[in-house]
Structure 1
């Protein structure tokens, strides 16, 4: 299943400090096949990560271990996502 993490920034200064560790963490998970896609919103107020996991609990564990969440630079909203298979027939 896919899980979407919305990660609004709550502390810009702390976020800038923790961002390199966040990017390393997301990249490592991508290389392991546990992150499908990730990136910032253009308004610079946060970003999104799409996790691939066997359960909500696994996705939550991955998302909560992200350095920006651990350090409280961002908040986390995690939701299961049922992506459409396009094109529709």
Structure 2
């Protein structure tokens, strides 16, 4: 019986689980649009990086008051 468990193929995640993950994930383009809308500024640079094992969108924006801010948005949950 143990041999059967070791040779059994792995079962992929259900489509609904994959859809939930995809639905909460945020693309770099979506993150840029969100920052542009929330700040009213001009996007200077945007990239996706790994921070502490998580994918993070790092967006540099020139705000209307002429200050440069870096906004980080978690790519997995959009926060």
TM-score bracket, normalised by the shorter chain, equals 0.3 to 0.5
TM-score normalised by length of structure 1? 0.32
Query: Between Structure 1 and Structure 2, whose CA radius of gyration is higher?
Result: 2
Q: Compare the two structures and name the one with the higher strand fraction.
A: 2
Bigger RCO of structures 1 and 2 (CA < 8 A, at least 6 apart): 1
